[in-house]
Structure 1
Amino acid sequence: MSKVIRVVAAVFCRESKVLACRKAPGTSLAGYWEFPGGKIEAGESAKQALAREISEELSLRAHVGEKITTTTHEYDFATIELTTYYCEILDGTPQLLDHDETRWVRKEEALSLQWAPADIPAVSMVVDRL
């Protein structure tokens, strides 16, 4: 197994929709959809890391809530251990920094997007609750 990178991601839901973010060209996994988030830095809890990443990536202030799942996926560049959490936007409107598109999608559209492989198990769990 390659180097393990621990990452966290936010699942924002509203009005039977979930927020999907597409990775911008020139970024790792460009063109794939994902739940926004990023790496856990030394000394951070998973929830602290996620709040920071959402602020940095989307310019949002968010409440990190219930854990959804933790999955592991081996990519060619590393093994990603991804933990997803339900989150609530407290303040702000998503700004595009690491992504070239964000959209609120219903269950059917969410299932049709090309998600990053590490996100797929969480997508399945989330759409079952929409």
Structure 2
Amino acid sequence: MSETHSVPGERPVFDVVAAVIVDADRTLCTRRGTGPLAGLWEFPGGKIEPGEAPEQALTREIAEELGCRIRVEEPITTTTHAYDFAVITLASYRCRLVAEPPRLTEHTAARWLAAGDLTELDWAPADLPTVRALQQATR
């Protein structure tokens, strides 16, 4: 897939994946613990490494961040957001837990919420299109 790159004097560009882990009618939401977006909520995931397919990156990142295994089912949204520190292209995927419950290693909190309750949280801007897509799908 794409690699991280930047042009001198410009922000770096990252291709990132997010897991929308669904259990019945609830979705796992996690709060970032570090970095420029610390304290904001997100769907867990991370950067795509060179040579990785998005689904491979997502499976790896969730194992690293939450210590659990997922099955990647289908894409939800892809969006690009320009932060002050970088430009992020975020692809989100509907996923299911395969084994082990999630445990926090990098996040400070986690909540399982119904789609209608997702707006209760203060989301990282790149995750907002996924939030909207989930809410529209349940109407």
Q: Taking structure 2 as the reference length, what is the TM-score of the superposition? A: 0.88
**Aligned residue among 61, 71, 75 for 2:69:** 61
Assess if the C-alpha contact under 8 Å between 1:61 and 1:91 holds in 2: yes
4+ long deviations beyond 4 Å: none
Paired residue for 2:78? Answer: 70
Alignment deviations for residues 8-30 of structure 1 (CA, whole Å, 9 cap, x no partner): 00001223211100011x33311
* Residue 27, structure 1, aligned to residue 35, structure 2: yes
Paired residue for 1:92? Answer: 100
* Residue 106, structure 1, aligned to residue 114, structure 2: yes
Give 5+ residue unaligned stretches, structure 1.
Answer: none
> How far, CA to CA, are the matches of 2:123 and 2:43 in structure 1?
9
* Residue 6, structure 1, aligned to residue 6, structure 2: no
Please list, as runs of the form range in 1=range in 2, the aligned pairs for 1:43-54 lying within 5 A after superposition.
43-54=51-62
> How far, CA to CA, are the matches of 2:120 and 2:111 in structure 1?
13
> How far, CA to CA, are the matches of 2:39 and 2:133 in structure 1?
22
Assess if the C-alpha contact under 8 Å between 1:20 and 1:33 holds in 2: yes
Q: Decide which structure has the larger Cα Rg and report it.
A: 2
Give 5+ residue unaligned stretches, structure 2.
Answer: 1-9
Pairs aligned (count): 129
Q: Taking structure 1 as the reference length, what is the TM-score of the superposition? A: 0.93
Task: Select between 13-22 and 44-53 the one with higher mean Cα deviation.
Answer: 13-22
Deviation at 1:107, TM superposition (A): 2.6
> How far, CA to CA, are the matches of 2:56 and 2:24 in structure 1?
26
Deviation at 1:111, TM superposition (A): 1.3
Alignment deviations for residues 98-122 of structure 1 (CA, whole Å, 9 cap, x no partner): 1011110123321121100000001
